[in-house]
């Protein structure tokens, strides 16, 4: 998962790539630290065509306003620059997979 610190870089990546996972974390967030490697490995294995990026709300405070994020961690999935999925603190990988499988398979098949 590539770490980006500028909002312009994040927006450019979302606009330039077919599919982007944006993982937003916060400093001293144990849930953020524990969940990030699981999400990263899950998407790398199951959805290899999704570009994975991360940002810390402390390093990029405008993330909250730009993406309407009120708490961390926040997981946003974009296809063609449009938000398709938004998950928060309590994430079920199985439920996420059910939702992502449909759009991923339609988009990339």
Cα 56 to Cα 32: distance, rounded to the nearest angstrom: 10
Structure tokens at 31: 């849930």
pLDDT tens readout for residues 90-104: 888 999 999 999 999
Q: What percent of the chain has pLDDT over 90?
A: 91
Domain boundaries, the chain: 2-108
Q: Which residues of 10-37 are buried (b: 16+ CB within 10 A; e: fewer)?
A: beebbeebebbbbbbbbeebebbeebbe
């997979």: which residue's tokens?
Answer: 97
- CATH classification number, 2-108, choose in 3.40.50.300, 3.30.1330.10, 3.40.30.10, 3.40.640.10: 3.40.30.10
pLDDT tens readout for residues 52-73: 999 999 999 999 999 999 889 9
The structure's pTM equals: 0.94
């Amino acid at each position: 998962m590539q770490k980006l610190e500028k909002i312009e870089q994040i927006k450019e990546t979302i606009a330039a790539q077919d599919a982007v996972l944006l993982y937003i974390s916060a400093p001293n967030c144990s849930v953020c630290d524990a969940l990030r490697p699981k999400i990263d490995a899950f998407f790398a294995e199951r959805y290899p065509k999704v570009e994975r990026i991360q940002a810390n709300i402390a390093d990029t405070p405008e993330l909250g306003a730009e993406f309407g994020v009120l708490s961390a961690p926040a997981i946003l999935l974009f296809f063609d620059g449009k938000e398709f999925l938004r998950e928060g603190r309590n994430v079920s990988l199985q439920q996420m997979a059910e939702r992502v499988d449909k759009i991923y398979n339609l988009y990339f098949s």
